[in-house]
Amino acid sequence: MSRAGEHLALRESMIATARRMNASALNQGTSGNLSVRVEGGFLLTPTGMDYDALVPEDLVLMRFDGRHEGRRSPSSEWQLHRDLLAARPEVGAVLHAHSMFCTTLACLHRDIPAFHYMVSAAGGTDVRCAPYATFGTAELAANVLAALDGRKACLMANHGMVALGKDLASAFKLAVEVETLAAMYWRALQVGEPVLLDGAEMARVLEKFKTYGQQPALPPREG
């Protein structure tokens, strides 16, 4: 079996998600990248390739020591994905995008504060903006890792955003939520400074988010 065949369904899912990123305007062109944890490493989108042209063999198998396998070169942000997956064992997928409103706020070096309770979806009382560093560097990876301490998403100064998930679907869902929050916050700033929720309320919201969206298990069907 070829390397691509070992993870064929996962590779196809990554390609579909990458295309969905562009179709949903979460990303543009060949910017942004995706990774998914697999045994012994992670799969990563290749550098500089049109998502619509990708085939499963184009996905790069990365090892945590920086080695890669396959016919393509990995995304320039491979260190970012490697360091996040190495440091956060609960994370199964990493999504990086240059979404319009997150990037707009990131170019202002602004966090997204507790202007809306859904900020808690990213794991805390705000969505931090990581300090700027050149793309594809270990410094950028370190800055993002620090900004994601206790969080599942962050902005990247003068660059974009990152969202983490247990799988591709949850990472994509969170990225859309954070971009929506960024758009709402940006619009509110056009009128004035939004009224922020206080720490006590955000603590209540974070507690409620521990069970938010969970459905009870359905009984087995009879017959």
Beta bridge partners of 79: none
Return contacts of 48-54, CB within 8 angstroms, 24+ apart: 51/15, 51/18, 51/19, 51/21, 51/22, 52/19, 54/15, 54/18
The catalytically annotated residue of 77, 177, 207, 222 is: 77
Task: Decide: residue 221, CB within 10 A, 0-12 exposed, 13-18 middle, 19+ buried.
Answer: exposed
Asked if 77 is an active-site residue, the reply is: yes
Task: Using alpha carbons, select from 5, 2, 92 the residue that is nearest to residue 41.
Answer: 92
Q: Which amino acid is at 204?
A: R
Q: What is the rounded distance in angstroms from the CA atom of residue 206 to the CA atom of residue 75?
A: 34
The overall longest dimension of the chain from CA atoms, in Å, is: 61
In terms of DSSP bridges, do strands 68-69 and 60-62 run parallel, antiparallel, or are they unpaired? antiparallel
**DSSP character string of 44-77:** EPBTT--GGG--GGGSEEE-TTS-EESSSPBPTT
CB 126 within 8 A of CB 111: yes
Catalytic residues: 77
